[in-house]
Each structure stands twice: as C-alpha cells, then as structure tokens.
Structure 1
Amino acid sequence: MFAGHFALASGVKAKTPQVPLWALMLSTQLLDILFVPLLLTGVETIVPVGNGGYGEAVIHADYTHSLIGALLISLIFGFLAARLWGRKGGVIIGSVVFSHWILDLLVHRIDLPIFPANIGNFPLLGLGLWRYPVISILLEGLFVIVGLILYIRSIVPGTSGKTRVMAVISASVMGTLLSLSLLSSILGWA
C-alpha cells in the first residue's frame, strides 16, 4: 500500500492548504521510516512467504506498527506539528500518521499487534487483502486516482499564468511518481 499512503496524503493536501505537502507525505510514511532502523538492527523483521512478490511477507513491526505504538507516534508528531502549523495542522498531521496503520490493517496479513512487542499476547490484526493481489492493487489504484484528482482540483482553481502551469506540472509529476510507486509494488520492487 506504498502508493496508497502517498495518495492519501495528496488527497488530504487538497483540504488542508496550511500544511505543506512534504509534511503530509512524510507523515503518511512515518511508521515505515521509523521501521527501517528497527529492521536494520533486527528489532523488527520481515519474513517472506510464497515467492516474495507483492504483499507476500509477514511483517513483524511489533513497535512501529502496533495499534498503541502507532497511536503514540501519531500523538507525538501531531503535537510537534501543532507547534509549526497550529492545532488544526497538528490534528491533521497526527491523523495522517495514524492513517498509515489503518491502511496497513486493510492489506497486511494477520501480523499487526495491538500493544508494542505484543505485550499480553493478544490476537494479531490484519484483514489480509495482500492475499488477493488483484483486489489490493485495484484498491490502491483507486486511492491513487482519487488522491490525484483531489490534489489537482485543489491547486488548479485560483491560479493563473505561470502559477497554473507550475501547478499542472507539479500534479503531473506527482501523478507519475504515484503511478510508478504503484507499478513498483505490483512488480515486487518495493
């Protein structure tokens, strides 16, 4: 759901002009960004299943992608963002950070713990749409299309001349990057 996360940030940007697009893009990937050093140190792991293609992995992100861990990270970064972009901006950033967990819940296999380190050994969560690649790719593609449409509709009105041209170029670049991101997920490159 890599492209889907970015698409959501694009759609949110359409409704929140006070928060920079870079901050929304960073926020939507923050759980994965924090996952990387934990993966590199072996604290969190990825175990391939099947042939290792699109969505064929069990991800043991027991801290960054636990429900409570994601909520805590969302609250912390929402609070920090509020200092930069006001209370509404903080709520938006915190919500976008947490949206990552919600979208992952849709596609992940049953590998998302409720508490960090799966304290209490509660049942793991995940609806497993990755087991149905066609459905998950179509859903992610829909997110990309809707996010891009919302973003384009928000930047083109009210602009004129060179600004309008730059807005259209910006939207085209974003659309290309989102499409390439989706394609790389489909082909198993990401």
Structure 2
Amino acid sequence: MYFGHFAVATVIKAKNPDVPAAPIFLGTGVLDILDGAFILAGFDKVTPNLKASPYLFFNLTFIDWDHSFLAALFWSWLWGLICYYIYKKNKKIGWVAAITAFLHFVCDLPLHNHDMAWYPFSKGHWGMGMWGTYHAWAWVVEAAFTVGMLIYAYRVHRDRGEKITWQLALIGLLTISLSPWLSPMKIVATWPEPYATIGHGSLILLGFLLPALICTWLYKRSGLDIGKKAAAKA
C-alpha cells in the first residue's frame, strides 16, 4: 500500500484534532521511510521484476528489518516514544503516533505477496497477496479504499467548519502518480544494478517523507494543526 496510508493518516488526524499532523503523517510512513533507507544501506533487498504489478515492479525479496511483525512493533513503539518526548511527554500524542505507525503494517497485509515475516529471518511470512492475484485491480481496490477514507475525513472536517481541500488534492495526485500506468517504479526497474536498487530505495524513502512533510505544512497553513506548546498543554 502507498497512497492508502496517507488516507488513513487523514482520518486519524480528522478524529484527533488535538494531535499535531507531524507525528501522524510521518508516522504513517515511518516503516517505509526506514525501508527506503535500509534498501540504500543494503540491509533490505529488492529485485526488479516488471511483472510485479500493479505499481511496484520489484519483488520485495527481504524487508524483514522494517516490515516483519516484531520489527513493525518495535519501530512503532519507538516512534511513539520519540513523539511522546518531543511533545513534552504528551501520552495521547505518543499513543496516536505509535498506533498510526503500526497501522501501516496492518494495512499492508492484504496487499503484500507473502513477504512480511514474523521477525527478521523467520521462515513464516504474512501477506494475503492481492498484488499478485488481482494485479491492476489491486490498485483499484486501494484507490477505492482511499476515496472512502478521504470522504469520511472530509465530512468530519466539514462538520467542524474546516477545509482540507489541498490535502485531498495531494493524496489524489499520489493515487494517480502510482497507478499501474504512470508509476515511476516501472522505469526504475529497467535500470541496471545497482542503480535499480538505489532508485527504488530513494523513491520509497522520498515518496513517504516528502508527502508527509507537505501534508504537515498544509495543516499548519490551513490553521488545523497545533504546535509543541499547545500540544504540551493538551
């Protein structure tokens, strides 16, 4: 899952207006931000495969350091702990940040092709395999899920007299950009190694980091975010 994670974060933010956007939107992608960094560092391994639809065009050969069950629990807990201390020991922010981060793992389960381990180097793996079974239709399912989440978030904000127009537009753009027909991963998968792996890791890292930072800025710009001092008092 990619754009669907940001849709989930939008709902979490809508339901928790007293939680800053940064712990939520960075948290929803923290596992893949780590994944991109670990691929670049050589800890995780991906393999180009132009038949790996609908939009990755890589096999996730080894992603145990961030997308195994125990690793996801650890990184989610650590992210929550970091946010807890950054925001002056605010327990709610810490919990929301940790839960948001772990929901990334949960939301990935239906789509991943049996490549999510129980723990690093374990033989048992998870993943219901919608990518491998339904191909382009898996993108349609994720897009429909995203639309549903965004409609719900829009209504929650609307009922409070708030607007998230630009946030919705950004996530819509992400949805289109990673469609089976426009995904930049398809081009990167044709590059010779090690450039394909470097390109994949870079796109994963930046593909989660930059939209998260932009979303955080958009919430601050629209007056729907709170700063550290306000969070500490909450």
TM-score range for the pair, normalised by the shorter chain length: 0.7 to 0.9
1:7-46 → structure 2 map (5 Å cutoff): 7-46=7-46
Given that 1:79 and 1:90 are in contact with CA atoms closer than 8 Å, whether structure 2 keeps it comes out as yes
For the aligned residue pairs, the C-alpha RMSD in angstroms reads 1.9
Corresponding residue number in structure 1 for 2:100: 96
Q: TM (normalized to structure 1)?
A: 0.84
Instruction: Select which of 111, 114, 120 maps to 1:110.
Output: 114
Asked whether the 8 Å contact 2:23–2:93 carries over to 1, the reply is: no
1:178 lines up with 2:171 in the alignment: yes
Query: 2: CA distance between counterparts of 1:66 and 1:52?
Result: 20
Spell out the pairing of 1:1-190 with structure 2 (5 A cutoff): 1-51=1-51, 53=53, 54-59=55-60, 60-83=62-85, 84=87, 86-116=90-120, 118=121, 121-131=122-132, 132-159=134-161, 164=162, 167=163, 171-186=164-179, 187-189=182-184
Partner Cα separation in structure 2 for residue 189 and residue 68 of structure 1: 31
In the TM superposition, residue 88 of structure 1 has moved relative to its aligned partner by: 2.2
Superposition deviation, residue 145 in structure 1: 1.4
Give 2:230's aligned residue: none
Task: Give the share of equivalent positions with the same residue, in percent.
Answer: 29
For these two proteins, the number of residue pairs brought into alignment is: 178
Amino acid at match of 1:48: P
Distance 1:143 1:16 in 2: 20
- Residue segments in structure 1 that go unaligned for 5+ positions in a row: none
Residue aligned with 1:81, SS: helix
Relative CO higher for 1 or 2, CA cutoff 8 Å, sep ≥ 6?
A: 2
Shifted more, 28-37 versus 16-25: the winner is 16-25
TM-score, structure 2 as length reference: 0.70
SS in 1 for 2:65: coil
